[in-house]
């Protein structure tokens, strides 16, 4: 009997497992070649992403997701969750303003979002207690992978990316929900996740392999984009490139049976995808903002984050499953220039630099997606790795803070979600009177991550295996299913 060992069982819709299909006694008896078996294995691997929540409200409601990752940790109390009745050393300088929805107030730093808050829900009870130091790197890793960095390395707080890392969310989405069109499945822009010299931690495919890494467009979308890897070279016309592919197929056809099966499988899966990406031009065109009107580009804002959001819309419109738009600054950068890390100064940078960009971009993205009919099938999430300390001038993470500065605060902060059938104009959860801790419905970052998977039709509780082949949950969180309940 021929047995192809595989310890990770997955069950097909008819109840059979991969092991049932591997123990075939004689492949020829069932009309199966080794190539067929390899394809069935791939089918089984893909099938692990579905099933548990079939029929649940909101499950599979999204075709794509846009994550606006505000690395650096924006101040929730000065943006999303104002506390006008708190003491002056908590409430700060900004006043609250009314929004389009009675009972929902925002900071005066977000006037445009106040008019579009009917299209989104604010989760004001994000909260977690970190293990050890709660620096940016550890918090980013927690937020985007669902695991603490200490689970792969005892000193993982500030270590660079490792092949043993847990995969970032977009990599799992790429694995379980590959796009059907010749487009890039997962795009990260316009710069990497970064704290000081630690670059990219929490932003790679880790132990599932580089094939699931994001396509990293580390360029300013407000400037002309160079896409040499997605373009046909002038000396290699499309016909010649297609001819090369056919030649590879011919060479493959002359190989011995085993090599032929394996190589054919690889060609089908990887070469064909690569050729399709280049030949179709669909992926390349999605990055071309010159195809947008000047008026639309102005609405998003002629700055890096604004044009990045417009590019994100074009990418999901083309079929990309996940776009991660990182705030275009080092997480622990200078708040007087581009960073949310407002230890040294909080109110001036938020009022004059960061919030006007965030406000314009978010409100325009929500409106544009809604008018194009894309919001119904796209989940939009805006969140940082944590919030900022409610009390001004105190140290909560070992950092030095100015009298008007705010330190890191993972114990309570806000995330914005919209689209994929989630009713807008609502609050989910509530913070206490000083925005220090959740008053009701606490939401762990893992719960938000589980909700992203859930919306895309991926079971967040399914079993995966880490770099040591140990069984783990995809994410240790529960999807917020009641977000979809009106």
Convert the pLDDT of each residue in 349-381 to its tens digit.
999 999 999 999 999 999 999 999 999 999 999
Q: What is residue 227's predicted lDDT score, i.e. its pLDDT?
A: 81
Residue 297, pLDDT above cutoff 70: yes
pLDDT, tens digit (0-9, with 9 covering 90-100), for 177-204: 998 888 889 999 999 999 999 999 999 9
Q: Which of 217, 252, 280 is the last residue of a domain?
A: 280
Query: Higher model confidence: residue 424 or residue 150?
Result: 424
With contact defined as beta carbons under 8 Å apart, do 414 and 81 qualify?
yes
Q: Within a domain: residue 345? A: yes
Residues 265, 367 within the same domain: no
Say how far apart CA 486 and CA 481 lie, in whole Å.
Answer: 11
What is the reported pLDDT for 266? 43
- Total structural domains in the chain? 3
The average pLDDT across 56-70 equals: 97
Q: Are strands 105-107 and 96-98 parallel, antiparallel or unpaired?
A: antiparallel
- CATH number for the domain including 136? 3.40.720.10
Report yes or no on 52 lying in a domain: no
Instruction: Tell whether 376 and 341 lie within a shared domain.
Output: yes
Looking at the structure, do residues 445 and 333 belong to the same domain, yes or no?
A: yes
pTM: 0.84
30: containing domain: 1-47
Tell me: do 188 and 304 sit in the same domain: yes
69 in any annotated domain:
yes
Final residue in a domain of this structure, among 280, 297, 317 = 280
CB atoms within 10 A of CB 184: 24
**Is residue 58 included in any domain, yes or no?**
no
The span from the CA of 47 to the CA of 364, in Å, is 37
- Regarding whether 292 and 276 lie in a shared domain, the answer is no
- How much of the chain, in percent, has pLDDT values that exceed 70? 78
Residues 166 and 237 in one domain: no
Phi-psi region of 388 (alpha: psi -120 to 50; beta: other; left: phi over 0): beta
269 and 315 part of one domain: no
**pLDDT for position 362:** 98
Do 311 and 162 share a structural domain?
yes
User: Which tokens belong to 217?
Assistant: 């467009």
Both 206 and 236 in one domain: the answer is no
Range 105-108, long-range pairs (CB < 8 A, 24+ positions): 106/79, 106/80, 106/82, 107/78, 107/79, 107/80, 107/82, 107/355
Token duo for residue 240: 């010649």
- Residue 238 pLDDT exceeds 90: no
Q: Quick one: what percent of the chain has pLDDT higher than 90? A: 70
What pLDDT does residue 49 have?
63
What does the pLDDT read at residue 181?
83
Is the model's pLDDT at 320 over the cut of 90? yes
56: in domain: no
In this structure, are 334 and 248 located in the same domain?
no
Shared-domain flag, residues 387 and 414: yes
Which of 226 and 246 is assigned the larger pLDDT?
A: 226
Which residue has better confidence, 265 or 465?
A: 465
pLDDT at 157 (0 to 100): 67
Q: What is the 3-state composition of the chain as percent helix, strand, coil, each rounded to the nearest 5?
A: 40, 15, 50
Q: Tell me the per-residue pLDDT of 133-160, one tens digit each, with 9 for 90 and over.
A: 679 999 999 999 999 888 887 766 678 8
Residue 352 resides in a domain = yes
Among the three residues 260, 280, 300, which one is the final residue of a domain in this structure?
Answer: 280
Residue 53 within any structural domain of the chain: no
In the prediction, which pLDDT does 413 show? 98
What does the mean pLDDT of the chain come to? 85
| Same-domain status, 391 and 252 | no
pLDDT band at 231 (very low <50, low <70, confident <90, very high): low
> If pLDDT is split at 50, 70 and 90, which confidence band does 50 have?
low
């Amino acid at each position: 009997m021929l047995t192809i060992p595989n310890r990770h069982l997955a069950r097909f819709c008819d109840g059979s497992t991969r092991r049932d299909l591997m123990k075939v006694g004689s492949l020829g008896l069932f009309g199966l070649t080794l190539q067929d078996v390899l394809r069935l294995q791939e089918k089984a691997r893909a099938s692990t992403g579905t099933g548990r929540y079939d029929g649940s409200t909101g499950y599979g409601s999204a075709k794509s997701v846009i994550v606006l990752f505000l690395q650096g940790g924006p101040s929730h109390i000065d943006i999303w969750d104002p506390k006008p009745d708190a003491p002056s050393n908590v409430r700060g300088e900004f006043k609250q303003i009314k929004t389009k929805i009675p009972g929902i107030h925002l900071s005066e730093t977000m006037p445009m979002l106040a008019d579009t808050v009917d299209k989104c829900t604010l989760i004001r009870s994000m909260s977690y207690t970190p293990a050890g130091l709660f620096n940016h790197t550890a918090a980013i890793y927690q937020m985007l992978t669902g695991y603490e960095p200490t689970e792969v390395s005892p000193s993982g707080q500030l270590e660079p990316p490792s092949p043993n890392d847990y995969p970032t969310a977009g990599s799992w989405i790429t694995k379980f929900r590959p796009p059907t069109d010749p487009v890039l499945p997962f795009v990260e822009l316009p710069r990497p996740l970064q704290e000081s010299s630690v670059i990219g931690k929490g932003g790679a495919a880790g132990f599932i392999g580089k094939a699931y890494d994001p396509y990293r467009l580390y360029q300013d979308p407000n400037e002309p984009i160079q896409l040499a890897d997605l373009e046909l070279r002038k000396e290699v016309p499309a016909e010649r490139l297609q001819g090369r592919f056919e030649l590879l197929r011919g060479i493959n056809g002359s190989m011995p049976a085993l090599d032929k099966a394996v190589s054919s499988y690889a060609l089908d899966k990887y070469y064909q995808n690569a050729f399709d990406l280049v030949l179709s031009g669909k992926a390349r065109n999605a990055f071309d903002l010159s195809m947008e009107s000047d008026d639309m580009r102005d609405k998003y804002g002629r700055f890096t984050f604004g044009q990045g959001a417009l590019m994100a819309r074009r990418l999901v419109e083309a079929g990309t499953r996940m776009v991660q738009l990182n705030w275009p600054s080092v997480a622990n950068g200078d708040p007087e220039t581009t960073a949310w890390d407002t230890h040294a100064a909080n109110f001036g940078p938020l009022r004059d630099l960061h919030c006007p960009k965030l406000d314009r971009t978010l409100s325009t993205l929500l409106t544009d997606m809604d008018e194009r009919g894309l919001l119904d099938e796209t989940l939009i999430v805006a969140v940082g790795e944590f919030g900022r300390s409610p009390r001004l001038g105190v140290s909560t993470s070992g950092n030095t803070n100015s009298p008007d500065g705010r330190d890191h605060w993972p114990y309570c902060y806000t995330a914005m979600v919209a689209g994929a059938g989630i009713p807008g104009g609502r609050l989910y959860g509530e913070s206490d009177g000083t925005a220090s801790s959740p008053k009701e419905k606490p939401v762990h970052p893992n719960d938000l991550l589980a909700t992203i998977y859930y919306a895309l039709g991926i079971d967040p509780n399914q079993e995966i295996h880490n770099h040591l082949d140990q069984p783990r949950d995809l994410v240790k969180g529960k999807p917020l299913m009641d977000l979809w309940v009106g």
